[in-house]
Structure 1
Amino acid sequence: MAGLSGVPVIILKEGSERESGKNAQHRNILAAKAVAEAVRTTLGPKGMDKMLIDGSGDATITNDGATILREMDIENPVAKMIVEVAKAQDDEIGDGTTTAVIIAGKLLEKAEALLEQDVHPTVIVQGYKQAAAKAQEVLKKMAIDVSGDQEMLLKIARTSIRGKGTEMALDRLSQISVDAARAVVGFEGKDIEENIKMVHIPGGRIEESSINYGIVLEKERTSPQMPKSIKNARIMLLEGTLELKKLGTDAKITITEAKNLSSFKEGEEKIIKEQVDAIIATGANVVFCEKGIGVFAQGYLANRGILAARRVKREDLKMLALATGAKLVGDVMQLRPEDLGSAALVEERRVGKEKQMIFVEGCEKARAISIILHGVS
């Protein structure tokens, strides 16, 4: 905002302070270094745990850098940027948050010394960019391929898991992580974890967690008359619906006689029966539907010994396609036997006290899998 004389007029809240120049740079760097210092002592095999107490008095004990920074109440904008560095590292890699923050703090510490020598910030930034490029070049030369080294992969997994509060099942979770990554590596998806579905089941011990070479759905059979278990499953994935579409808002059907109503319902049932017959003709015995399955279709499928689930999430359908080899089909009448996927077993099971889930297991050459995690909460 400019005054009449052309001199900027800056309006601040009462009690606010304004700093500029080297003093502002120094204060900002100091705040960032303080954040780095807060997590520095958690690094390494002899790293110490931190006890964090929030405003409500709840305590958290951890040596995970991302957790510590997430729980800290930080107001300084530069310090918040350091927290974002840790968050980006955690989202992208899942580990190394403390290291990333410490490096950022050290870079700022060295930059402060250069600023004291009147080196311009732009020159410092350019130098750091050149150093980053050189560091990547050196790291690529140092890197070794460990994809076939099971023991090394387990060590890497154990290092990543430590500090997350799950050390009591360290070996079990490390083995699951390595097996899951090796099962889907090289298949489609920008990240490996896009082909891994995490299923959280409250109850039981964390040691009971397991890997399923298939997909677990938080769904149950559409009808209790359907079989609970299908061996040597032939799986159909339907993007559409197995119920008649509702009429448009302006559409009307006038029926003047009772016999016409009966004929109308028979016509509806005939359409559904033709669709179900088309499914049966391909040899399918399991149907996963993205949308609804009508009452008549449910009964007809149950009578023919077919297990079906409705309103399956599209993301789950895509993972089922990767796991079973099935193709997503929009029109039932165009379904072909080669569009079906396969699994050794599809079974509905009770999980916990009340929840039911459908397990698709034994998928040969599965390109998507599930990790089932148990826990007390």
Structure 2
Amino acid sequence: MANQPIFILPEGTERYSKRDALRMNITAAKVLAGIVRTTLGPKGMDKMLVNSLGDVTVTNDGATIMSEMDIAQPAARMLVETAKKQEEIVGDGTTSVVVIAGELLSKAEELLDDGIATSVVVKGFRNATEKAVELLQGIAIDADDKETLKKVAVTAMSGKGSDYAKEHLADLVVEAALRIEEDGKSDIENINIQRVSGDSVEDSFLAEGIVIDKAPLSKAMPKDIKNAKIAIMKYPIELKDINTDAKIDITSPDQFEMFLKNEEQMIRDLVDKVVDSGANVLFCQKGIDDMAEHYLKKAGIMTFKRVKKSDMERIAKATGAKLVTDIEDLSEDKLGSAGHVYLDKLFDHELTFIEECENPKASSIVLRGSTRYVTEQISRAIDDALGVVAATIEEGKVLIGGGACEIDLVKQLRDYGETVNGREQLAILKYAEALEVIPRTLVENAGLDTINLIADLKAAHEESNLIGINVFTGEVVDMKEAGVIEPLRVKIQALQSAGAASEMILRIDDMIAARNALNSTGPDESGNDASGMPPMPGMGGGMPPMM
């Protein structure tokens, strides 16, 4: 019994230890970074994603690519979650996060191969990230005018399918963001994008108020109301379902007729409460009975049912209406107002416009495009632009783009690294080297001479930190004059997220998973399992004997 091995994990468990686990995770991160890297910058390429239902998505938006891909490898999934969080917080920079994290892990692998301890690498990367954030804040410039916001929006949309109309779209984005600004902040959730296929992108416009993708319940209802008094309710105007245990005894036709009249009276009472409030436009988040629809139509009330929660919130922001959850609470002081509510048809799309609102804090962009694929792609570009403009309004600081701030960071981080003693210095220098991946990728994706352009860029930064790469002309130029500007918050968040993700992956020295988690379908034709990694020899289920 003394030599009998002891198994503490169930049969079929996969275990990858120490360097094997680390290499597997680093390789997965580098593969994911390689997938999205070609989409970076104004000259980035697109990806075509086809889901299990055959729906096609064509995009170079990093967040969309990673959310649509079915990624099985756990470390790669962690990177995807990091990118999604970047999108949620600042609205852009998802591709940069993954590319930088992949490059950091690649440089970390070189250090580990040279015998540097993982803890030293992690500490060096963490200190370098903190220093990089401090340096970025030092080189940031003020963004206090509308023209700067427009340049930020144009930079965010460059290379995302909207280049031929980005000036016009940037104007719409900036105007929409400034319109809803409150206390120095713009909540872009209060801006919705209505996509309408037909006509060209240049025909897109910013509505005067809110646009919802709904038509009134009945064609006989009013379609155009001036001086609208708007009620928004989260209460159904219909009869409640009778309890399944309830029993109704009807013994004569008179009783049945009385029962129907009572039901009708209950519906009329609900409608009367709407009429008595003075509302002539009603948006209901719940259902509306056919009989209630009839009485609302007779009362001349423009009525909508099953309105989305997000639309209800925007209507409240734009018109000042208060959401009513109990019809008994509906009164004149809960109503919102708008100068004009009307139904309009754009091609085969019926939209309801709520306009002439007093100081609206919500707005809508009506996006036109020749096909559904065009409008979807440009909608994603506008989402990114809205995110960066909102971040700039709140932060009030921007950075010079085109690889300028990254090269400046590389230079200053190397100077900082020389002041640090011990092996941690090597990690800081590798971190600085890793940041070159952004300008290098911009050049590679543009099909330009990487070695010479990066060398020219470094040389130019001895004179000015505003010099970046114009990927359209293949020259190093003053990016401030060229109008290539990025928000400070997006860049800081990208560095912090990439640093945190790489640190998290580097600290993993053991992977223990049920076989179904990493190898649910068995090896494919190339011999790799479902995680995309080759099977590791000698790593079957069970722990080694405990002596």
- The residue number in structure 2 matching 1:127 is 124
Gap change, CA 1:258 and 1:94, over 3 Å in 2: same
- Whichever residue aligns with residue 218 of structure 2, its letter is S
Distance across 2 between alignment mates of 1:187 and 1:213? 21
1:4, distance to aligned residue in structure 2 (A): 2.5
Q: Using the alignment, how far apart are the partners of 2:58 and 2:294 within structure 1?
A: 54
1:342 aligns with 2:340: no
Give the superposition deviation at 1:67: 6.5
Q: Indicate if the aligned counterparts of 2:41 and 2:158 stay in contact, CA closer than 8 A.
A: no
CA shift in 2, pair 1:361/1:123, >3 Å: same
Q: What letter corresponds to residue 228 of structure 2 in structure 1?
A: A
What does residue 274 of structure 1 align with?
269
Q: How does 1:179-258 map to 2 (within 5 A)?
A: 179-186=175-182, 192-258=187-253
Q: Matched residues in 1 for 2:72 and 2:160: separation?
A: 26
8 A Cα contact 2:41 2:159, kept in partner = no
**CA distances 1:122-156 after superposition (whole Å, capped 9, x unpaired):** 2221222232233323333443442x411111111
Number of residues of Structure 1 aligned to a counterpart in Structure 2: 368
CA-CA distance at 1:320 after TM superposition: 1.6
Q: Which letter does structure 2 place at the counterpart of 1:159?
A: T
Instruction: Sort the Cα spacing of 1:308 and 1:60 in 2 relative to 1 into closer, same or farther, 3 A.
Output: closer
Alignment gaps of 5+ in structure 1: none
- Structure 2: how far apart are the matches of 1:260 and 1:19? 76
Residue 166 (structure 2) aligns with:
170
Amino acid at match of 1:106: E
Contact 1:288 1:312 in 2 (8 A): yes
State the alpha-carbon separation in 2 of the partners of residues 188 and 330 from structure 1: 31
**1:362 maps to what in 2?**
356
**1 CA distance for matches of 2:56 and 2:270?**
58
> Higher mean Cα deviation, 74-83 or 333-342?
74-83
Spell out the pairing of 1:110-149 with structure 2 (5 A cutoff): 110-146=107-143, 148-149=144-145
Residue 151 (structure 2) aligned to one of 151, 155, 162: 155
Q: Classify the secondary structure of the residue corresponding to 1:371.
A: strand
Q: CA deviation at 1:237?
A: 1.0
User: 1:12: Cα distance to partner?
Assistant: 8.2
Report the CA distance between 1:31 and its aligned residue: 5.9
Using structure 2 for the length normalisation, give the TM-score: 0.57
1:237·1:326 contact (CA, 8 Å) conserved in 2?
yes
Q: CA deviation at 1:324?
A: 1.3
Q: Is the 8 A contact 1:350 1:356 kept in 2?
A: yes
RMSD: 3.8
Secondary structure (helix, strand or coil) at the match of 1:197 reads strand
Deviation of 1:11 after TM superposition, in Å, equals: 8.2
* Counterpart secondary structure, 1:227: coil
Residue of structure 2 in register with 1:5 after alignment: 5
The reply to whether residue 371 of structure 1 matches residue 365 of structure 2 is yes
TM-score under structure 1 length normalisation: 0.80
Q: Call closer, same or farther: CA 1:280–1:188 in 2, change over 3 Å.
A: farther
Cα 1:345/1:110, change in 2 over 3 Å: same
Instruction: Say if 2:199 and 2:368, in contact at 8 Å, map to a contact too.
Output: yes
Partner AA of 2:296 in structure 1: L
CA shift in 2, pair 1:346/1:77, >3 Å: same
- Does the CA contact (< 8 Å) of 2:279 and 2:335 recur in 1? yes
Partner AA of 2:223 in structure 1: K
The 2-side partners of 1:272 and 1:65 are apart by 51
Worse-matched range after superposition: 298-307 or 21-30: 21-30
Name the SS for the 2:353 alignment partner: strand
Structure number with the bigger relative contact order (C-alpha 8 A, sep ≥ 6) is 2
**Could you say if the C-alpha distance between residues 107 and 278 of structure 1 is closer, same or farther in structure 2, counting changes exceeding 3 Å?**
same
Offset of residue 345 of structure 1 = 1.5
What is the distance in 1 between the residues matched to 2:51 and 2:268? 61
Alpha carbons of 1:368 and 1:33: their partners in 2 closer, same or farther (altered >3 Å)?
same
Query: Could you tell me the percent identity over the aligned residues?
Result: 43
**CA 1:218–1:7: 2 relative to 1, 3 Å:** closer
8 Å Cα contact 1:49/1:61 also seen in 2: no
Letter of the structure 1 residue corresponding to residue 310 of structure 2: E
Shift of 1:325: 0.9
